[in-house]
Structure 1
Amino acid sequence: MTPTPLPGPWPHRLRAARAVMGRELSKFLRQPARLASALVRPLLWFLVFAAGFHNVFGVAIIPPYETYIEYKVYMVPGLLGMIALFNGMQSSLSMVYDREMGVMRLLLTAPLGRGWLLAFKLLAGTALSVLQMVVFLAIAWGFGVEFEPLHLLGALPVMVLAAALLAALGLMLSVYVRQLENFAGAMNFVIFPMFFISPALYPLWKLEEAGAAALHLLARYNPFSHAVEAMRFALYGQANATSLLVIGTGTLLCFALALRGYDPQRGWIRQRGAA
């Protein structure tokens, strides 16, 4: 009898991708309240801050804008970044939970390279972020924030890249957050500085004008700032090459650090095993 040939590596990887990504997506879709809760925060900022600070923050004519704009229009890219940032941290929490429950140890012993497993986790987190971002854009359109349809299509790949950067950041943090009890503190030390020291809510020239040179410098080197600016330019049909380069480099760096952290020879598995 002729032995049945074994399937190649790619069918095996595709099945693994369907299993890992499908698990994350199905968990999300089974909980409609999770989507609602994920959108409450940016919508609250969008409605309350846009009304309260409409006449406080003047947005000058700076690229990519060609005329004065309403403050709620300026806020949209920053709130898209907020969605991706919080979802990236939520994905990190899921990784910490899986590690505590032993799921990650089981997955890492599967006949699949660690890089592929973490890449599928990264893709799942990115997909969830982009889904929420698209829903938020639809809601913002209902409140009068409109963009050119072609520009929206062109912005979608940039949104994917920005979401991938923040999902990779969450993946990297999951290596160093050992317990669920420590996660809230870690989130506060990562999310809020990244969000507030950025052009998400106000242009960077406001910081420079106010004399906050140190904050202005931090904001310029904040990867979240580049994620927001890349989406801001893309929504107007322009490309911010510097920000795109930072996003790509940052994603690869965070993923490489996460991959190193989940190495059984040097990461948390060895440390837990020694304990």
Structure 2
Amino acid sequence: MNATLGGAPAPLFKRIALQGGYEALTMVRNGEQLILAIVLPLLALVGLTVTPLLDGLGGSRVDVAVPGILALCAMSTGFTGQGIATGFDRRYGVLRFLSTTPLGRTGLIAGKILAVLAVLALQVLVIGSVAAILGWQPNPAGLLPGLLLLVMGGAAFTALGLLVAGTVRPEATLAITNLLWILLGALGGIVIPAERLPGAAQHLVHFLPSGALGEALRDALVHGAVNAPAVLVLLLWTAVAGVAATRWFKWN
């Protein structure tokens, strides 16, 4: 989607904003995307709140559950949602077409990132509202770091989603992103803290973007602390996936 002013291309920022708004609306209007982005995280939140799985982790059930659910939202939107959408845009030639318009490849990527952040903001609003009803009381000192961590997590997972979408077939993208969403959601330290995972998984998940984001958000929103090693892991994943996506992304 592009805008023109008097026959000339609109400013780049406006083009990016329009593209980002279009992609965000497309994501929230898609029933499958909506289930992945909102319904499943809400079900997981309620399930963790009414079961004893998170008891004894330094906070109430809902206080410990919400950071992981927010991290799950970042993965759902940035990795699975954007990965699938980009994969099929690539298959049907949408990416190739848009990359030749005044929006350009850089503007297209920026628009996708903006769309992820917009949907993530909606997820935070919905999840936060329901969590508040359930009694969520985040540590005030961790609210700003928590928001910054969500942005970082969204960037990391978007880079990973674009890497998958730009290098394999759309059908494979669909399978890979959905499978990893299930595996990382259940065993990647994103919803269930590392100490509740079996065996070697307790140590491995700290090096995954899912585990790093989940642990960092729990430290911020429950304890008001900044987990520097987890932040470093997130930054490394973002950098590596971003460079790899830039290097190997196929536009057609």
Shorter-chain TM-score bucket reads 0.7 to 0.9
Asked if structure 1 preserves the Cα contact closer than 8 Å seen for 2:71 and 2:153, the reply is: yes
Asked if structure 1 preserves the Cα contact closer than 8 Å seen for 2:75 and 2:153, the reply is: no
Choose which of 56, 62, 72 in structure 1 pairs with 2:62.
72
Aligned-pair CA distance for 1:155 = 1.9
For residue 15 of structure 2, what is the aligned residue in structure 1?
Answer: 16
- The CA distance in 2 between the partners of 1:91 and 1:201, in whole Å, is 20
Aligned-pair CA distance for 1:220 = 2.1
For residue 43 of structure 2, what is the aligned residue in structure 1?
Answer: 44
The one-letter code sitting in structure 2 at the alignment partner of 1:144 is G
Asked if structure 2 preserves the Cα contact closer than 8 Å seen for 1:91 and 1:125, the reply is: yes
- The CA distance in 2 between the partners of 1:18 and 1:119, in whole Å, is 9
- The CA distance in 2 between the partners of 1:59 and 1:123, in whole Å, is 38
> Mind listing any 5+ residue stretches in structure 1 that lack a counterpart?
1-6, 61-67, 270-275
For residue 90 of structure 1, what is the aligned residue in structure 2?
Answer: 81
Q: In structure 2, do the counterparts of structure 1 residues 223 and 33 end up closer, same or farther at CA, with 3 Å as the change threshold?
A: closer
Answer yes or no: is 1:225 the counterpart of 2:225: no
Q: Tell me how large the CA RMSD over aligned residues is.
A: 2.7
- The CA distance in 1 between the partners of 2:203 and 2:139, in whole Å, is 33
Which entry has the higher C-alpha Rg, 1 or 2?
1
For residue 126 of structure 1, what is the aligned residue in structure 2?
Answer: 117
Aligned-pair identity in percent equals 29
Asked if structure 2 preserves the Cα contact closer than 8 Å seen for 1:155 and 1:237, the reply is: no
TM-score, normalization by structure 2? 0.83
Q: Which is further off, 158-167 or 145-154?
A: 145-154
TM-score, normalization by structure 1? 0.77
Q: In structure 2, do the counterparts of structure 1 residues 152 and 220 end up closer, same or farther at CA, with 3 Å as the change threshold?
A: closer
Asked if structure 1 preserves the Cα contact closer than 8 Å seen for 2:83 and 2:164, the reply is: yes
Q: In structure 2, do the counterparts of structure 1 residues 268 and 32 end up closer, same or farther at CA, with 3 Å as the change threshold?
A: closer
Residues 96-141 of structure 1 show CA distances to partners (whole Å, capped at 9, x for unaligned) of 1211221100112224553443233223223312321232112101
For residue 192 of structure 1, what is the aligned residue in structure 2?
Answer: 182
Q: Which is further off, 181-190 or 238-247?
A: 181-190
> Mind listing any 5+ residue stretches in structure 2 that lack a counterpart?
1-7
Residues 169-228 of structure 1 show CA distances to partners (whole Å, capped at 9, x for unaligned) of 11111112312x334321243222222233334332334xx5x12x22321221111111
